[in-house]
Structure 1
Amino acid sequence: MATSPLPAILSEIKLDLLTEDSAAANAAKRKEVARTFISDTITVPTEDMYAYAVQATLGDDVYHEPSTASLEGHIAKITGKEAALFVPSGTASNQIALRTHLLQPPYSVLLDHRAHINKYEAGGAAMHSGAHVIPIQPENRHHLTLEEIKESVVLGNDVHFAPTRVIALENTLNGSIFPQDEIIRIAEYARSIDVKMHLDGARIWHVAVETQTPLKELCEPFDSISLCFSKGLGAPVGSCLAGPKEFIQKARWFRKIFGGGMRQTGILAASAAYALTNNLPLLSQVHALSRHLEAGLEEIGVRILSRAETCMIFYDPSTVGVTYDEIADRGSELSEPLVLGGSRLVVHIQTSPAAVEDFLSIVRTLAQEKEDSGFVPEEPSENNGVFKDVYVRRAAKVNKT
């Protein structure tokens, strides 16, 4: 009798990802994350988060998953919207929102030129929605104003232009808080011209904590809001899109079309719930550590390009004769290395205070070495008239979001 080939097939296919040193590897990764300044996307689930998450309900979310539905209902409630939708990422949330708002081309989306939708979503607005993007460079180098919106918005029926249908704001943007009174002014104008308002609120949690403003109040001016769980809050995966019930029903359709309909999402929803309860309160400490980092850099003589309003700092070490690569290289040579990019420093809930002190020590030492070799430090002046977003300088080594 012929031997069945099935055992050989099964043997070839099977895979065991767990090794004897998995626990040690994870411990090493957590230590690395604590010393990484490139982004808050690199935060990892804690053992307590895992323990909570595995108790979540089971179910296929394309049909109905109880824990995920509970998360969506909670997000709708705290944002003051009728409904919410769990999606894989912030990019998915933003792009599904735009596609749901935008009905028939031609149309345009107006936003800050630094916005994630404009710079870091691979041209998704054009790809998915056929939308023209109108990027504006704010004169104050901090946030858009109503006057700048009015100057750039496209209205009327002139066939040479794509009429504006959505104004997309980001809060925080590069860690900076968008003044709520200016958002309200823009929203009132948008309503008067029948233009939708979308908020990329990937890090809106930071704004709520730092300004001590209810999330509902921050979200009220917007027709749709995207909120991330996997950045500042440290959950492994996921964002939510919130808005009117009819809008979310259509967004759910587009989520499916875009390949974002997921199955057993309960464990992900539970991780997000754990983060909302246990990690959100940690953001005050994050902001304090960011300000400590900023103060240390200024004491050394480094120019601050964008201040530590929440979790990010942009800096320019050329005032003390030092380059980003020199800092990153020196950091990588430590017995416990630092992971650094260019001008952007991101502090997160798992950043070690010791890592901040090590970073400052490196910059201080390099600055002293340059001075000893004859370099004359510049007098630091805030921004020096220019905001330089160069954190992609080491893009070959570091992935940015």
Structure 2
Amino acid sequence: MATDIQARRAQVADEVKFDIFTETHDLDVEKQIRQITRCFISDTITVPTKEMYAYAARASVGDDVYHEPSTLALEAHMARLTGKEAALFMPSGTMSNQIALRTHLKQPPYSVLCDARAHINKYEAGGTAFHSGAHTIPVPPSNGRHLTLRDVEANVVLGYDVHSAPTEVVSLENTLNGTIFPQEEIVAISDFAHNKGLKMHLDGARIWHVAASTGTTIKELCAPFDSVSLCFSKGLGAPVGSCLVGSKEYIAKARWFRKLFGGGMRQIGILAASAAYALTHNFPRLVDVHELTLRLEQGLRNIGVEITSPGETCMVFYDPSSVGVEYWEIVDRASKLPEPIVVSGSRLVVHIQTSPAAVDDFLQLVRDLAEEKKRAGFDAAQYKAQANGHVRTNHDIYVRGVKPKP
């Protein structure tokens, strides 16, 4: 009988075991890393380096639901850095934003005012309605770049009209589509909102770019807000994670919601350490990202490509129809290069692992396509005249995915 049980146990163990690594694993990883250096889809694709892994391996091994020293140290640093009382590590920026809003919102009916292009409105699967039961008031910025005090005043819902969902939170995003939100405008909106008893939340997933570009401290950038979400994986190169900051009472409630949402984590010291490494070693590299982005933008301008939103930080939005080229043609040609380039739609994103050679190769590709169209009879001057001065903004043409024509 004992021998039979041992045999069955061995069989179960044999079924359970699994080796994730293939014979070509190391070569495959090297290929992936090369592809990342030539991908302009997003800065979320940045990957940890061997140095980051080595640093993370030294992290503490506590349970974050109970007590995790490395994570607590990171949270204390983030609270000091942002000028807030407390901080909470989150698995993702979406969870950080959604728990931030849920913690602010007490008793419906209520609404959240935000930019129509905001991540919380367009790219979080309707989470504000699902998790908080809140109505969203998406406002297109009148200047095409960022919300203004006038935009907020014109759309905020105040008072006790039973037909409306009164606004409880004004949520801003900085950067949004790579554009820096002027701090003086943020302060004006914050003063107005707080004067009306409203809360201010910032989706600061890429706030690091603002600090790196302007030299403004993170504390000053976060000061107008009651809560701020900051991302470690977008552009900074950490594998995963964001941080929510606010008052002690606010973060205590948010921690409760994090557990409710399924975000209570265990041995995450390695993630906290990776974030710490990214803050120390990768944040200073964002200045180089901005310079490479400007080089990309200027190269497109030199070819004659219309820039619909300039590269203030890490993104450029462009419209190649000004040289007779369509997006699908660029996507298709880029995928067939000896060393393929990955692009999609009107947004080009540069990150800390983008290769300068990839920028040069992309510009050459667009230049070649433009020359081909010109030889085929495309007249850029005639196109400009027919356009009649209309300039499409990134809000008009931002496409996350473009499939080649059949």
Q: TM-score range by the shorter chain?
A: over 0.9
Give the CA deviation at 1:381: 9.8
Q: Distance in 2 between matches of 1:201 and 1:383?
A: 32
Amino acid at match of 2:398: V
Matches within 5 A, 1:57-206: 57-206=60-209
Q: Give CA-to-partner distance per residue, 1:156-183, whole Å, 9 cap, x none.
A: 0000000000000000000000000000
Q: Paired residue for 2:320?
A: 317
Q: Paired residue for 1:399?
A: none
Do the aligned residues in 1 keep the contact of 2:157 with 2:166 (CA within 8 Å)?
Answer: yes
Amino acid at match of 1:148: D
Q: Distance in 2 between matches of 1:53 and 1:98?
A: 31
Do the aligned residues in 2 keep the contact of 1:306 with 1:383 (CA within 8 Å)?
Answer: no
Q: 2:220 aligns with which of 214, 217, 220?
A: 217
Q: Paired residue for 1:393?
A: 401
Q: Distance in 1 between matches of 2:268 and 2:400?
A: 33
Structure 1 stretches of 5 or more lacking a match? 397-401
Q: Distance in 2 between matches of 1:264 and 1:121?
A: 26
Give the CA deviation at 1:371: 0.3
Q: Structure 1 stretch 182-191 or stretch 17-26: which is displaced more? A: 17-26
1:384 matched to 2:360? The reply is no
Q: 1:33 aligns with which of 14, 36, 39?
A: 36
Q: Secondary structure of the equivalent of 2:121?
A: helix
Q: Distance in 1 between matches of 2:206 and 2:390?
A: 23
Q: 1:270 aligns with which of 264, 269, 273?
A: 273
- Going from structure 1 to structure 2, the CA distance change for 1:173 and 1:383 (only over 3 Å counts) comes to farther
1:361 matched to 2:364? The reply is yes
User: TM-score by structure 1 length?
Assistant: 0.97
Matches within 5 A, 1:279-294: 279-294=282-297
Amino acid at match of 1:46: T
Give the CA deviation at 1:20: 3.1
Amino acid at match of 2:30: A
Do the aligned residues in 2 keep the contact of 1:305 with 1:383 (CA within 8 Å)?
Answer: no
Q: 2:12 aligns with which of 9, 17, 20?
A: 9
1:349 matched to 2:357? The reply is no
- Going from structure 1 to structure 2, the CA distance change for 1:272 and 1:382 (only over 3 Å counts) comes to farther
Do the aligned residues in 1 keep the contact of 2:328 with 2:403 (CA within 8 Å)?
Answer: no
Q: Distance in 2 between matches of 1:84 and 1:40?
A: 24
Query: Identity percentage over the alignment?
Result: 63
Amino acid at match of 2:391: N
Q: Secondary structure of the equivalent of 1:45?
A: coil
Q: Paired residue for 1:243?
A: 246
Give the CA deviation at 1:393: 3.4
Q: Paired residue for 1:56?
A: 59
Give the CA deviation at 1:394: 2.5
Q: 2:310 aligns with which of 304, 307, 310?
A: 307
- Going from structure 1 to structure 2, the CA distance change for 1:316 and 1:385 (only over 3 Å counts) comes to closer
Q: Distance in 2 between matches of 1:70 and 1:255?
A: 19
- Going from structure 1 to structure 2, the CA distance change for 1:267 and 1:119 (only over 3 Å counts) comes to same
Give the CA deviation at 1:19: 2.7
Do the aligned residues in 2 keep the contact of 1:303 with 1:382 (CA within 8 Å)?
Answer: no
Q: Distance in 2 between matches of 1:77 and 1:147?
A: 33
Structure 2 stretches of 5 or more lacking a match? none
Q: Distance in 1 between matches of 2:137 and 2:195?
A: 20
Q: Give CA-to-partner distance per residue, 1:207-228, whole Å, 9 cap, x none.
A: 0000000000000000000000
Q: Distance in 2 between matches of 1:118 and 1:395?
A: 24
Amino acid at match of 1:251: A
- Going from structure 1 to structure 2, the CA distance change for 1:263 and 1:382 (only over 3 Å counts) comes to farther
Amino acid at match of 2:356: P
Do the aligned residues in 1 keep the contact of 2:294 with 2:311 (CA within 8 Å)?
Answer: yes
Give the CA deviation at 1:23: 1.6
Give the CA deviation at 1:26: 1.2
Do the aligned residues in 1 keep the contact of 2:331 with 2:402 (CA within 8 Å)?
Answer: no
Q: Distance in 2 between matches of 1:42 and 1:232?
A: 8
Do the aligned residues in 2 keep the contact of 1:304 with 1:383 (CA within 8 Å)?
Answer: no
Amino acid at match of 1:155: L
Q: Structure 1 stretch 1-10 or stretch 241-250: which is displaced more? A: 1-10
Q: Distance in 1 between matches of 2:351 and 2:209?
A: 11
Do the aligned residues in 2 keep the contact of 1:169 with 1:200 (CA within 8 Å)?
Answer: yes
Do the aligned residues in 1 keep the contact of 2:148 with 2:185 (CA within 8 Å)?
Answer: yes
Do the aligned residues in 2 keep the contact of 1:305 with 1:382 (CA within 8 Å)?
Answer: no
Do the aligned residues in 1 keep the contact of 2:228 with 2:244 (CA within 8 Å)?
Answer: yes
Q: Distance in 2 between matches of 1:389 and 1:73?
A: 41
Q: Distance in 2 between matches of 1:212 and 1:382?
A: 36
Amino acid at match of 2:305: V
Q: Secondary structure of the equivalent of 2:391?
A: helix
User: TM-score by structure 2 length?
Assistant: 0.96
Q: Structure 1 stretch 213-222 or stretch 12-21: which is displaced more? A: 12-21
After the TM superposition, which parts of structure 1 deviate over 6 Å for at least 4 consecutive aligned residues?
380-383
Q: Distance in 2 between matches of 1:94 and 1:274?
A: 23
Give the CA deviation at 1:382: 9.1
